[in-house]
Amino acid sequence: MKIYKLLLVLFILLFTPYSLIADDKIEHKIAVLVNEDIITSYDIIQRLKLTSIIQGKILNAQNTQLMVNNVVDELIREKVKISKINEYQIKIDDNEYKEFETNFFKRKNLKKDEVLNLLKEYKINYQEFENLLIGELSWNKLINGLFYRLTSTSDLEISELIKKNPSLTNEQAESLIVQRQLDLQSSKLLRDMMNEATIEYK
């Protein structure tokens, strides 16, 4: 996907000494229209910086274009997912979110305090980070609700998986098999939704 002139100018600002405040002073325009939902240049810059923090990557001339493309694609997928999440009225309570956030930091081997400090330093609203996790958790909850009852495992599948990974218990192997099936259903549903979506780059 090509990088539009407006976005290119904004992302160049990320490499200037005053970049952390510069993007707050620029008029942020619509970059992508997904069905009736908009993604602005501000959304892209915020997610770009957030992604660099989570992945521990430093933005530079070599990786920025790829990261921008990935971020835009990610935001588009999220807009499409949200439409289905809203359709099924998926709700996340505080306890569910706190548990998911804790597990997120463990999986990424990140310390929450350090991440929060970086969010503040790079002028990223914590709500941006929270929305990212809520979206991921909501989608997982939706997929489980739609497809979990359709999953199945066999003794042979469990045995074969344990042969490849002897440290796994039967319960862990069964859980992995089920999760793979759910992941396949998730990918198929999202692919179908993306094919039906109207996506317009401004």
The domain total for the chain is 1
pLDDT tens digits, one per residue of 134-155:
999 999 999 999 999 999 999 9
Collapse the DSSP code of 99 into the 3-class scheme (helix H, G, I; strand E, B; otherwise coil) and give the result: helix
Q: Which residue from 21, 28, 75 is spatially nearest to 51, judged by alpha carbons?
A: 75
d(C-alpha 201, C-alpha 11), whole Å: 17
Predicted pLDDT of residue 27:
58
Instruction: Yes or no: say if 99 and 92 are a contact pair by the CB < 8 Å rule.
Output: no
Distance CA 182, CA 173 (A): 14
3-state helix, strand, coil in the chain (%, to 5): 70, 5, 25
Q: Which domain holds residue 55?
A: 5-201
CATH number for the domain harbouring residue 9: 1.10.4030.10
For residue 37, give the 3-state DSSP assignment.
Answer: strand
Cβ–Cβ < 8 Å for 59, 67: yes
Say how far apart CA 37 and CA 79 lie, in whole Å. 7
Spans in the chain with pLDDT lower than 70? 1-27
Report the predicted TM-score, pTM, of the whole model to 2 decimal places: 0.86
Q: What is the pLDDT of residue 26?
A: 52
Token duo for residue 127:
């709500």
Do the Cβ atoms of 29 and 41 come closer than 8 Å?
yes
Q: Provide the sign of the torsion angle of the four alpha carbons 51, 74, 108, 96, taken in this order.
A: positive
What's residue 151's pLDDT? Answer: 97
